[in-house]
Structure 1
Amino acid sequence: MNHHDSLTPHQLRSTYEGQKSQPFDLSATVATPLELHRCTVQAAWVDYNQHMSESCYLYVFGDNSDAFFRYFGIDDDYRMRGYSLYTVETHIRNRREAALGEPLRLTLRLLDFDHKRLHVFHEMFHAQSGVLLASAEQMLMHVDMRAGRAAPFPADIQQRLAVIHAAHSVAARPADAGRVIAITRREAKVNADAAAE
């Protein structure tokens, strides 16, 4: 039985809790995008519409972020030293439903970073059909938890992020990155076109 099946909302934990980061090889090829997390839709994630609840999409994207953190060196030991990454903003775009028992494959690209922030882009695919189910764009902030404020990444972490970003910035930017939520109205476009004539 997967441990997620019996969790109450107060017991939610990352799949990667307790897993340590592996040494980061600065000379190794960085995959674009990274594929670090896979999972299966659990019974506890399925809602009254018989597909994965919207909150659980965020939960799965959160696990994908945690896998990424461990990839470049942020794990529980790092957090015990008083530092972590907090989410500042998330934008999820749902494209297709995911049903109970379906396999999921997650990808992640580091779109940008600075000394305190990460801008990442996730995609969730059906692991068998390859259909894109959802995407998520996030801004994350490196935080000194004891001081309760943003803090610079250590130099070694910044160096690793630079290597990842250099690899990921070569590929074309994802089409949904920077997408704005808005109701576009056909009559406004028609009026604008008429005014231009």
Structure 2
Amino acid sequence: MEKRVPVFFFAPFVSSTMRVVPAWIDHNGHMNMAYYHVLFDRAVDEGFGLAGLGHDYVEERNASFFAAEIHTTYKRELKVRDEVRVTLQLVDFDEKRIHYYLEIRHATEGWVAATMEGLSLHMDMETRKVAPFPDDIAANLAVMKAAHARLAKPQALGRVIGIPSRIAQAEALRATGTCH
């Protein structure tokens, strides 16, 4: 079942507005880290749904995509009733994988609350194994990637987790002007 290739994608994709609900607030008075992933996941569903990888894709094609690896950074607290939007940038894809970058932004003030880099695998739901994207989905992803290729490469892309050296810490302090 071939789907028509979309004419264009927004660059970056911007999700619908979502609100932080009281049940997501932890004992620190801010949104618990798990719910940042709820917001990211909803935006991934919305954004890649435009490429044909939505909920109906699972039902109609018996295929989906699974998270294989993610890297999240938490930049600023979100509080109850904050409204946010999530941007999604398709960084790359091949016949079986998609690499993407997201930012949760405050919906009215624009500041970044968190970032996430992800790698997902296309799955055959019958065999539960990695499988190639159908041609029409690959074509849709190519159009999305072309639109998103115009965006700057996110600085946080490919970050490594670790404790920075004292030299790197001093350089970072000097760069921000907080070192005496």
Same fold (TM over 0.5): yes
Partner of 2:62 in structure 1?
Answer: 82
Query: Is 2:76 aligned against 1:93?
Result: no
Instruction: Kindly indicate whether residue 75 of structure 2 is the aligned counterpart of residue 122 of structure 1.
Output: no
| 8 Å CA contact retained: 1:86, 1:142 | yes
Q: Distance in 1 between matches of 2:168 and 2:79?
A: 38
144-153 or 75-84: bigger deviation: 75-84
Which secondary structure does the structure 1 equivalent of 2:15 belong to? Answer: strand
> TM-score normalised to the size of structure 1?
0.80
- Specify the code of the residue in structure 1 equivalent to 2:141: L
Query: Which residue number corresponds to residue 47 of structure 1?
Result: 26
- Per-residue CA deviation, residues 11-34 of structure 1 (Å, 9 max, x unaligned), is xxxxxxxxxxxx765333x22111
Alpha-carbon distance in 1 for matches of 2:168, 2:100 = 33
* 1:146 aligned onto 2:126: yes
1:35-76, CA deviations, whole angstroms, 9 ceiling, x for partnerless residues?
A: 123200011111111111000001110011111121111223
Identity rate, percent: 37
| Structure 2 CA distance for aligned equivalents of residues 154 and 133 of structure 1 | 35
After the TM superposition, list the runs of 4 or more consecutive aligned residues in structure 1 that deviate by more than 4 angstroms.
187-190
Aligned to 1:104: 84
CA distance in 2, matches of 1:76, 1:172: 30
Matched, 1:134 2:114: yes
Q: In structure 2, list runs of 5 or more residues that go unmatched.
A: 171-180
Alignment partners' CA distance in 2, 1:129 and 1:189: 29
Counterpart-to-counterpart distance in 1, 2:168 and 2:83 = 42
Q: Matched residue pairs, number? A: 167
- Cα distance in 1 for partners of 2:72, 2:115 equals 6
Shift of 1:170: 2.1
Are 2:6 and 2:143, in contact at CA under 8 Å, matched by a contact in 1? yes
Letter in 2 for 1:38: T
Structure showing greater relative contact order (alpha-carbon pairs closer than 8 Å, 6 or more residues apart):
2
Q: Secondary structure at the match of 1:66?
A: helix
Shift of 1:182: 1.1
| Partner Cα separation in structure 2 for residue 70 and residue 83 of structure 1 | 13
Report if the CA contact (8 A) 2:78-2:113 is conserved.
Answer: yes
Q: Which runs of 5+ in 1 are unaligned?
A: 1-22, 191-197
Q: Tell me the alpha carbon deviations over residues 83-107 of structure 1, each in whole angstroms, 9 at most, x when there is no partner.
A: 1110000111000000000100110
Cα root mean square deviation, aligned: 1.8
Task: Find the aligned partners of 1:132 and 1:187 in 2 and give their Cα distance.
Answer: 27
- Within 5 A, what are the aligned runs for 1:147-162? 147-162=127-142
